[in-house]
């Protein structure tokens, strides 16, 4: 049975109490300018039974927000929001978050479970998974651990002005492709083993939990792999008030760009971080232009005594610019224009 797409006013009434529509108090006064809501339900109690069907129903080049409310369930499908589908907001319920998952690996281009290519995208209370590296008895050794792993992306976000709230991203290798654009992640969980947050994005991760999974196949984890390519490139990854946990040993990251930039600020690090902190860069000889930094971090893994000698000691002004949302990613106020 198909249900009519709900107008903005009725949608708010229908979802009141069922959806955690609260944004972080004291940070943004987000406007609710959604004009329609589409319901996705795996049992047919909505407009569509798949997430991709709902996205396909949105008119291209729309200029007003469309909310897609995804009822609880496991949606085994690949989803893509094309470049011409801006202003889409997907959400689940906070107490029973829906799962969007798929098992594909071997290519950073074709493996992603979810691709967000359009500008102005919001996700709230969604679990994104790529299960490729976690399934199949033929991929396990005699002790039940994975023999090898490969690219298996859960989320690929390449549009500008994307924000994620209370979401989870799970895979082993290349979990979150923060490919390009300005992005904001709040209270999200990202887990993986190899380069599990990577790309050329210009992003702030605030109060997020980063989980290292060396317990799956052993070895050393690499949390980030940033690809910033030049001194004038504004991109980089900033982790603010985050928590690093899971199994180790784990490096905070490694550079695959000549000017890679990653800052961990006021981050709580469990005792799983390697003494050196960072792995060797792909581009040897560029250590002087790579900006890896830790500022005011805490926890047993935050001891910098034996860190690499080319870790950057940033000035207070540099730290302020990178950790201030307004100056680093929100210069034109796009976050305030995202729906509540």
Cβ pair 299, 266 in contact under 8 A: no
Q: What's the rounded mean pLDDT across residues 157-174? A: 98
Q: What's the rounded mean pLDDT across residues 119-128? A: 98
SS3 at position 311: coil
Judge whether 174 counts as a catalytic residue: yes
27 pLDDT above the threshold of 60: no
Cβ pair 159, 182 in contact under 8 A: no
In whole numbers, what is the pLDDT of the chain averaged over residues?
90
134 pLDDT above the threshold of 80: no
24 pLDDT above the threshold of 80: no
SS3 at position 207: coil
pLDDT in tens, 62-86: 999 999 999 999 999 999 999 999 9
pLDDT in tens, 227-277: 999 999 999 999 999 999 999 999 999 999 999 999 999 999 999 999 999
Of the listed ranges 5-9, 132-136, 282-286, 323-327, the one predicted with least confidence: 5-9
- Could you tell me the residue ranges of all domains in the chain? 34-331
Fold for the domain defined by 34-331: Pectate Lyase C-like (2.160.20)
Of 133, 160, 195, 270, which residue is the catalytic one? 195
Of 156, 174, 178, 270, which residue is the catalytic one? 174
Give the 3-state secondary structure percentages of the chain, helix then strand then coil, rounded to 5. Answer: 10, 35, 55
Q: How many residues does the chain have?
A: 340
Structural tokens at position 159:
């549009």
């Amino acid at each position: 049975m198909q249900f009519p797409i709900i107008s903005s006013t009725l949608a708010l009434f229908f979802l009141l109490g069922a959806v955690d529509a609260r944004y972080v108090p004291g940070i943004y006064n987000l406007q609710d300018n959604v004009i329609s809501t589409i319901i996705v339900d795996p049992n047919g109690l909505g407009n569509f039974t798949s997430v991709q069907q709902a996205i396909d129903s949105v008119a291209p080049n729309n200029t007003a927000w469309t909310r897609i409310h995804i009822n609880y369930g496991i949606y085994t499908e690949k989803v893509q929001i094309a470049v011409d589908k801006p202003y889409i907001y997907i959400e689940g319920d906070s107490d029973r978050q829906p799962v969007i998952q798929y098992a594909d690996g071997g290519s950073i281009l074709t493996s992603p479970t979810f691709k967000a290519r359009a500008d102005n995208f919001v996700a709230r209370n969604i679990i994104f998974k790529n299960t490729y590296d976690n399934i199949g008895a033929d991929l396990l050794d005699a002790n039940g651990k994975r023999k090898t792993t490969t690219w298996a992306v859960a989320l690929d976000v390449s549009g500008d002005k994307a924000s994620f709230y209370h979401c989870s991203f799970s895979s082993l290798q290349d979990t979150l492709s923060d490919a390009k654009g300005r992005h904001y992640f709040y209270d999200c969980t990202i887990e993986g083993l190899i380069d599990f947050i990577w790309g050329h994005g210009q992003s702030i991760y605030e109060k997020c939990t980063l989980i290292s999974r060396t317990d799956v196949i052993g070895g050393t984890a690499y949390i980030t792999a940033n690809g910033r390519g030049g001194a004038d490139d504004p991109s980089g990854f900033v982790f603010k008030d985050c928590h690093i946990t899971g199994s180790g040993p784990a490096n905070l990251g490694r550079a695959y760009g000549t000017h890679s930039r990653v800052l961990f600020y006021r981050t709580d690090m469990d005792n799983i971080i390697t003494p050196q902190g960072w792995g060797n860069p792909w581009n040897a000889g560029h250590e002087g232009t790579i900006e890896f930094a830790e500022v005011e971090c805490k926890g047993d893994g935050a001891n910098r005594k034996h860190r690499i000698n080319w870790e950057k000691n940033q000035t207070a002004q540099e730290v302020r610019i990178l950790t201030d949302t307004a100056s680093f990613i929100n210069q034109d106020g796009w976050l305030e224009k995202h729906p509540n």
